[in-house]
Structure 1
Amino acid sequence: MGDSMKEVVEKLDPVARRLIPPNIDLGTLVPLKTNLELRDNLSLGFAYITRAPNKVTNSVVEIARALTSDDTAKNLPHLRRCVKPGDLPPHLKTQFMNEGNGRQVHFGKSNWLYILLGPKDEIPYEELVSRLATIDDIRDDIFVGVIPVPLLAPTSQMLASMWSSQFWQTIYRRNNPLGPHPSTITRFENYVSKDASVWMSLAQQIAKKSQKAGLGEPVGAVIIKRTIPGKNAGGKTVMKPGMIESDSSSDYTRTGPNGCNLDVQGGRGEMDAIPSAETEYYGDAKQLDADGSNPEAQGDDASKQDISVKESTEIVAIAADARWHQQDGTSGPTGNPMAHAALRAISMVAQKLVRAEDRPKSEPQIMEYETFQDKPLLGDEQIVFDADHPSPDGYLCHELELYMTHEPCIMCAMAILHSRMGRIVFRHRMPLTGGMCAEDRGYDSCEASGLCENGNCGGGQGLGLFYRKELNWSLLGWEWESNDAEHMLVDAHLHA
């Protein structure tokens, strides 16, 4: 165990220090992609463009805005409004050079600009041409072209560069219309990465103990409470005076003399005015923090909150899979689905909350078979269960963190969402049965098992339940990758 990990262990609560294994396997966090990022990251449409001398570009831009009702989305704010002839993608440069007065525009010291007008479906062509004809400098040679463009903003600088070479000059504004805001992911990842290896090692340890005892499959879950400085009791970010939350502060706009605003992002090019990431909307979805708050719009009251709280982590629940406990073969080959590790851990949290309320104890019912198996079955589970909940106020698992050896199944994923878990980290993907990842993968996962006809059952659904706009709760998710940790192999068809 390295010195940095020893410092992390020393800061853990006594219960966690008592349980963690002597050797902590290190790993890295990889943020999960949302289903929108994978499905809609390249949604193409067609847009009108024209070209005009610098001195009249303001008039052209006003026409474009008038025809699209000055709607931000219809004006494609992630695309540069004005582009110099030399900055066009090579295929467009070749195409437009041979149309109209293209050679005059492209050769020599040109004072012309290509101007993006807006989506083709939103602008009547006849009205566009008639309005452009009112501008003296282009009346005699009106050029209107149609090009394919990405309709949604890029989610990375690499993607923006690729689209710039393939379609039209594209800007990455350090936001993500298809998933959690990058600043939110970075902020929480900085905290989670410090001790994620500890909790994953603990989850693997309880999973192996359960399998050895014959209780269930080698699947483990650990739930912790993380106290983050600058977060109040409600989970919203508390900003210090003068603190800049958004990474988009490095991108801003200024207006040039020709009507095309100059977007300063790496010192490049003319650009139309674009709302900053702090106020930008995409449809009805605003960039929100994982807890539903807006990280870019905290009010003055937030800065007055107590920010003296120290960072800390405390273990709340630990549970292993127990699907084979008390089974006599009547439940079939899948075992007891109510005894999955995630469900047991969440139920233990609920019991600790009830215990904290000092409710009158009811007489225990003598049951021949307990469906939920949410009482501790292993010594490690009992130790954590007996400890008091570190923060018994609030709704069930609100803003807690879940660490699992395997990607939870769809049933468990929805239970995790309904419990208002704040973050989830797991190690092994379950492409055929998992509910958190969005990728449609796993088409060859069942080949080795020989359980499927022709060795192929079609792959997983790719539901991406950790972040779905249509659900009433979203949480951040990471996959934990490690070359050192033992692989907890299970059947590809297992519902973890």
Structure 2
Amino acid sequence: MDYYEGNGEAGLDLDIKEPHQFRGVAPNPLIDDLRAQDLPRGVLIPLKTTQEVRQDHSIVQAYITRVPTKSANDVITLLRDMCPDGNANTLPHLRRCAKPSDLPAHLKTQLMNDTPVGRQIHTAKSTWIYIIVGEAKDFDQEELIELLSGVDGIEKEPFISLIPVPLLAPTSQVQAAMWSSQFWPTVYRKNNPLGPHPGMVARGTEDIKHDTAIWMALAHRVALQAKEAGIGEAMGAVIVQRGENGTELVGLAGDARHHQGGALIMGGNNPMSHCVLRAISMVAQKLVRYERLATEQLTEYADLDFDAFQDTPLIELERECFNQEHPNRDGYLCHGLELYVTHEPCVACSMGVLHSRMGKAVFCNHMPRSGGLSSDDRPDGGGRGLGLFWRRELNWSLLAWEWERDGVPDLPPVDPTTHV
């Protein structure tokens, strides 16, 4: 039984010489029939980091002042000297200076109506400019007023006001425009302080979008074969390498939590026999096999009454893939490789993905109660997602997507609390 049925419009980049071949996918008997189909392309949705989900709306109080335009440089120098690290702008995503006409409407109205001087500044051709000082917590107001009053051209009682501003930089041009109208003129610098650079995500999406459907279809095939063989749940993982020779299959595995009575021995959830860890282990075994052959060492497998790892091929698809040689026998384990998995990996498998140094990960079915890659809050008060694909405190990060497919049938359902 194939995962895909029917013949939907793929919208893929096809090779003109071979009308139904996905460009860049290396031939392999395990996927050649999939390469010849117009598979539904689906949509790749980049995962958000924990910071993007929870901290992109942090608001702090900041001081602003206004000075004659000719005195602006003197004031900025003064502010730089007040900062212990010499940073002239502690909120670099906010414009340091703003003309009265550039302020958001609500702020302009407030400052215009505060004093007669404010009305004059905002109703005539202004020779004044507003300057954002920085976060209020970083400055002593009395000291600030005293220093500003010593600058030529500034009023004896310098203008100081507190306004709310976003603490972190915007992650898109749209967000920058919104903040400019709500808080203070904001700059989008085409980066993402909360996660992977937008350009990196865009390039990664472009790299994988043309053949994601192939690898996900293969993952569903091995998932169904594992379920039908009775060794595990309908879950599957595929590992590929993208390089100069195209995208090549490296490893695949189905779930094997029920094999050898694993469901009873390990309480029904042995993470070592989940499809992701099994696939990673089979890639490792390919590398070890090559090294031993190169040094004329024998490859031996232990005959165990119970194998907790279940990382030897158990079904036909696994055996066929395992017998193929690794396309690149150099480098560390899964460094830079790509993982395609039917369901979002659990915390244990997500950490295995990180430790194996995977470069990209794509899953088809979000597991909000048990998944480890996503950052979204879990339902029913289940806590927050860990977002393990990109966390600053970990020594590795990768790009990750959820793949929403269109017009293809679902796998047999699993309990939403199941760990994959």
TM-score (norm 1): 0.77
1: distance between equivalents of 2:88 and 2:66? 22
Aligned match for 1:467, one of 376, 390, 397: 390
Corresponding residue for residue 33 of structure 1: 48
- Superposed, 1:181-192 pairs within 5 Å as 181-192=197-208
Give the structure 1 partner of residue 339 of structure 2: 402
Residue in structure 2 matched with residue 126 of structure 1 by the alignment? 142
On the 8 A contact 1:350/1:396 being kept in 2, the answer is yes
Give 1:74-113 correspondences, 5 Å limit.
75-100=90-115, 101-113=117-129
Distance 1:10 1:129 in 2: 64
| Residues 435 and 71 of structure 1: CA distance in aligned 2, closer, same or farther (over 3 Å) | farther
CA contact (8 A) 2:26 2:245 kept: no
Task: Extract unaligned runs of 5+ from structure 1.
Answer: 228-309, 444-457
User: Which among 53, 67, 70 is matched to residue 55 of structure 1?
Assistant: 70
> Aligned pair 1:320/2:243, yes or no?
no
Amino acid at match of 1:44: I
Q: Does 1:223 align with 2:239?
A: yes
How far did residue 366 of structure 1 move? 2.6
Contact kept in structure 2, 1:433 and 1:495, CA below 8 Å: yes
Which residue is equivalent to 2:279?
345
Q: Which residue of structure 2 lines up, in the alignment, with residue 169 of structure 1?
A: 185
Match in the other structure for 2:330: 393
- Secondary structure of the corresponding residue to residue 118 of structure 1: strand
Contact in 1 for aligned 2:377/2:384 (Cα 8 Å): yes
Q: Is the CA contact (8 Å cut-off) linking 1:19 and 1:202 kept in structure 2?
A: no
2:226 is paired with a residue whose SS is helix
Which residue in 1 is equivalent to 2:219? 203
Match of 2:31, SS state, is helix
Say which of 270, 274, 279 aligns to 1:336.
270
Give the root-mean-square deviation of aligned CA atoms: 2.0
Q: 1:30 deviation in Å?
A: 0.8
Spell out, residue by residue over 1:301-353, the C-alpha distance to the aligned partner (whole angstroms, 9 max, x if none). xxxxxxxxx36110000111111112176336524332100010000001000
User: What letter is aligned with 1:463?
Assistant: L
The 3-state SS of whatever aligns with 1:319 is strand
Which of the numbers 78, 83, 87 marks the counterpart of 1:68? 83
Runs of 4+ in 1 over 6 A off after TM superposition: none
Flag the 1:4–1:136 CA change in 2: closer, same or farther, 3 A. Answer: closer
Q: Is the 8 A contact 1:206 1:320 kept in 2?
A: yes
Relative distance call for 1:363 and 1:20 in structure 2 (3 A) is: same
- What's 1:149 paired with? 165
Q: How far 1:381 moved relative to its partner?
A: 1.0
Instruction: Answer yes or no: is the 8 Å Cα contact 1:408–1:435 preserved in 2.
Output: yes
1:494 aligns with 2:403: no
**Cα drift, residue 131 of structure 1:** 1.6
For 1:453-493, what per-residue CA distance to the aligned partner results, in whole angstroms no more than 9, with x for missing partners? Answer: xxxxx335310000011001101101111122222332101
| CA apart distance, 1:70 | 5.8
AA aligned opposite 1:491: D
**Pairwise CA distance, 1:393:** 0.6
Contact 1:404 1:425 in 2 (8 A): yes
Mapped partners of 2:25, 2:236: distance in 1: 23
| Paired residue type of 1:466 | F
Q: Structure 1 residues 151-160 or 342-351, which shifts more?
A: 151-160
Please say if residues 26 and 485 of structure 1, whose CA atoms lie closer than 8 Å, have aligned partners that are also in contact. no
1:59 counterpart letter in structure 2? D
CA contact (8 A) 1:15 1:383 kept: no
Write out per-residue CA displacement over residues 424-478 of structure 1, whole angstroms, 9 at most, x where no aligned residue. 00111100000000111333xxxxxxxxxxxxxx335310000011001101101
Q: How many residues align?
A: 400
Seen in structure 2, the aligned counterparts of structure 1 residues 73 and 477 have a Cα distance that, compared at 3 Å, is farther
CA shift, 1:162, in A, is 1.7
CA distance in structure 1 between the aligned counterparts of 2:42 and 2:72, rounded to whole angstroms: 53
Distance 2:87 2:252 in 1: 48
1:115 to 108, 123, 131: 131
- Paired residue secondary structure (1:14): coil
Match of 1:402, SS? strand
Distance in structure 2 (CA, Å) of the matches to 1:365 and 1:200 = 32
Q: Check 1:441–1:158 CA distance in 2 against 1; reply closer, same or farther (3 A cut).
A: farther
Give the match for residue 236 of structure 1.
none
Mean CA deviation greater in 185-194 or 4-13 = 4-13
Are 1:210 and 1:216, in contact at CA under 8 Å, matched by a contact in 2? yes
1:14 pairs with 2:28: yes
CA, structure 1 residues 380+114, in 2 after alignment: closer, same or farther (shift >3 Å)?
Answer: same
Q: Equivalents in 2 of 1:18, 1:87: separation in Å?
A: 59
1:370 aligns with 2:293: no
Q: What is the TM-score when the length of structure 2 is the normalising length?
A: 0.90
| Matched ranges for 1:237-248 at <5 A | none
SS of the counterpart of 2:241? strand
Offset at residue 390 of structure 1 (A): 0.5
Residue type matched to 2:247 in 1?
T
CA drift of 1:135 comes to: 2.3
TM-fit CA distance, 1:141: 4.5
How far off is 1:225 after superposition? 0.6
Give, in whole Å, the separation in 2 of the partners of 1:4 and 1:92.
50
Give the percent of matched residue pairs that are identical in Structure 1 and Structure 2.
Answer: 49
Q: 1:73 to 1:335 in 2, by over 3 A?
A: farther
